[in-house]
């Protein structure tokens, strides 16, 4: 019997892209979410069966999931939504995939590793741009230099925007500051803690450290103890972040969070169709060891959200014939060349 896939949060920006990708590939899925009007509209557009359900409806959710082999969870912020879905999946014996990039969500889900093995299911957060390309690149670099104990990852998009869900997640977590991994431990650092210029294949770009999921996933799969992740940013933006980072505690206050969230929900929509189709994302990686050896490579991929739709659906499909269980990163499950299975993805070894 074919792998039955449920897309939860299908009406959100990225969830809708994933649903449309499934339709384009001829993959039979069902969709679900709590927004009845939006889910019904998407079901009418795609002719997919639908379910209206809230994560808080625990028994109803578990019962629904028993009919599916895999759920692609797209409803963020995942710090609020991931664990209820994971716990339902453990009881229903349904593989769990999501598209989070939040550090602490990866850590929280890792704690269910033994329970997932016992249930015979896979827990695989981060099957979108967060973190498939960087996870595959980190594993590839570790294979090239097994003695490596320091890793730098950096990425920048040529034409990209931010979805409403991503913006809400960033606003929710900004009060926590930045993070790097140092000597095997997560270290809390200021926002834009380190700033440096990277030479991508299309241009030089200033980048700043960010609290990206690979601080968890790359460490989990490679055990590299020192990891920094950088994202492209203008010097003007970096200057603003440094200027206001002392006020980050304000975004931890409930009523201010609510104001920011409302503003985001009324103004942020995500990349437009032209940028989705024509945009590119560039990912650089460098691994180093104590002897002064290093190895670098670059990935060139389609636009981040465009790629997410493809990696999420393909991850779900690949689980159909895979004898896997427990917590896994994408490259642990599918190999470091998984990212190369997608059109218009190129990996270049750098001098």
Mean of all residue pLDDT scores within the chain: 89
Query: Cα separation of 85 and 64, whole Å?
Result: 12
pLDDT value of position 119: 97
The pTM score is: 0.91
Give the model's pLDDT for residue 307: 95
pLDDT tens digits, 269-327: 567 888 888 899 999 999 999 999 999 999 999 999 999 999 999 999 999 988 999 99
Residue 67 lies in a domain: yes
* 96 and 158 inside one domain: no
Kindly state whether residues 119 and 193 are assigned to the same domain. Answer: no
Same domain as 243, residue 155? yes
Q: Are residues 45 and 176 in the same domain?
A: no
Q: pLDDT above 70 covers what percent of the chain?
A: 87
The predicted structure's pLDDT at residue 184: 97
Query: Are 139 and 281 in a shared domain?
Result: yes
180 shares a domain with 80: no
My answer on whether 309 and 297 are in the same domain is no
Q: Counting Cβ atoms within 10 Å, is residue 59 exposed (0-12), middle (13-18) or buried (19+)? A: exposed
Number of compact structural domains in the chain = 2
> How confident is the model over 1-53, as pLDDT tens digits?
467 999 999 999 899 999 999 999 999 999 999 999 999 999 999 999 999 99
Tokens 């890792």 correspond to what residue?
Answer: 110
Q: CATH number of the domain that 330 lies in?
A: 3.40.50.720
Whether residues 269 and 137 share a domain: the answer is: yes
In this model, does residue 100 exceed pLDDT 90? Answer: yes
Residue 350 domain-assigned? no
Q: Verify that 93 and 205 share a domain, yes or no.
A: no
Question: Which CATH number covers residue 283?
Answer: 3.30.360.10
pLDDT tens digits, 153-178: 999 987 554 334 444 444 555 667 78
Domain identity same for 86 and 136 = no
Question: By residue range, what is the domain housing residue 212?
Answer: 132-304
pLDDT at res. 169: 47
72 and 97 together in one domain: yes
In tens, the pLDDT along 45-87 reads 999 999 999 999 999 999 999 999 999 999 988 999 999 999 9
Residue 215 and residue 104 in contact, taking contact as beta carbons nearer than 8 Å: no
236-279, pLDDT tens digit by residue? 888 877 776 666 555 554 545 555 555 545 555 567 888 888 89
Domain assignment present for residue 340? The answer is no
Average confidence (pLDDT) over 145-156: 96
Q: Is 335 helix (H, G, I), strand (E, B) or coil?
A: coil
Asked, for residue 21, whether it belongs to a domain, the answer is yes
**Predicted local distance difference test score (pLDDT) of residue 265:** 53
Distance from C-alpha of 256 to C-alpha of 28, rounded to nearest angstrom: 42
Provide the pLDDT for residue 228: 97
Tell whether 255 is covered by a domain. Answer: yes
Dist CA 246 CA 235 (whole Å): 18
Cα(54)–Cα(89) distance, integer angstroms: 15
Residues 196-214: what's their mean pLDDT? 91
Q: How many Cβ atoms sit within 10 Å of the Cβ of residue 299? A: 22
Q: Is residue 343 part of a domain?
A: no
Domain-embedded: residue 341: no
Strand ranges inside the chain, DSSP E: 5-8, 29-33, 50-52, 70-73, 95-98, 122-124, 150-157, 178-182, 185-189, 195-199, 204-209, 226-232, 280-288, 294-302, 326-327, 346-350
Strand 50-52: give its sheet, edge to edge.
50-52, 29-33, 5-8, 70-73, 95-98, 122-124, 326-327
Q: Is residue 344 part of a domain?
A: no
How much is the pLDDT for 163? Answer: 38
What does the pLDDT look like over 102-111, one tens digit per residue? Answer: 899 999 999 9
Domain match, 104 and 136 both: no
Structure tokens of 132? 């498939």
- Lowest average pLDDT, out of 165-179, 183-197, 322-336, goes to 165-179
């Amino acid at each position: 019997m074919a792998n039955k896939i449920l897309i939860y949060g299908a009406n959100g920006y990225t969830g809708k892209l994933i649903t449309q990708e499934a339709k384009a590939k001829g993959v039979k899925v069902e969709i679900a979410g709590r927004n009845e009007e939006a889910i019904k509209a998407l079901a009418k557009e795609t002719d997919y069966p639908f379910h209206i359900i809230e994560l808080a409806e625990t028994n109803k959710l578990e019962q629904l999931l028993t009919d599916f082999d895999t759920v692609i969870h797209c409803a963020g912020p995942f710090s609020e939504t991931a664990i209820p879905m994971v716990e339902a999946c453990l009881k229903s014996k349904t593989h769990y995939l999501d598209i989070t990039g939040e550090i602490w969500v990866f850590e929280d889900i890792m704690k269910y590793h033994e329970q997932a093995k016992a249930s015979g299911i896979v827990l695989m957060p981060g099957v979108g741009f967060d973190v498939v390309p960087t996870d595959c690149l980190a594993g590839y670099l570790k294979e090239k230099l097994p003695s490596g104990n320091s890793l730098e990852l950096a990425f920048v998009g040529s034409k990209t925007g931010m979805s409403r869900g991503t913006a809400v997640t960033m606003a929710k977590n900004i009060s926590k500051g930045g993070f790097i991994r140092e000597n095997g431990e997560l270290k809390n650092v200021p926002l834009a803690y380190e700033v440096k210029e990277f030479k991508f294949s299309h241009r030089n770009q200033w980048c700043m450290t960010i609290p990206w999921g690979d601080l968890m996933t790359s460490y989990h799969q490679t055990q590299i103890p020192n990891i920094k992740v950088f994202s492209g940013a203008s010097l003007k933006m970096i200057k603003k972040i440094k200027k206001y980072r002392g006020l980050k505690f304000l975004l931890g206050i409930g009523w201010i969070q609510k104001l920011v969230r409302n503003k985001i929900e009324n103004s942020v929509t995500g990349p437009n169709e032209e940028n989705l189709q024509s945009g590119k994302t560039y990912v650089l990686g460098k691994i180093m060891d104590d002897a002064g050896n290093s190895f670098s490579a670059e990935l060139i991929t389609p636009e981040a959200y465009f790629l997410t739709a493809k990696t999420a659906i393909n991850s779900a499909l690949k689980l159909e014939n895979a004898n896997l269980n427990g917590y896994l990163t994408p490259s642990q499950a599918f190999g470091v060349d998984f990212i190369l299975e997608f059109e218009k993805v190129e990996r270049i070894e750098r001098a």
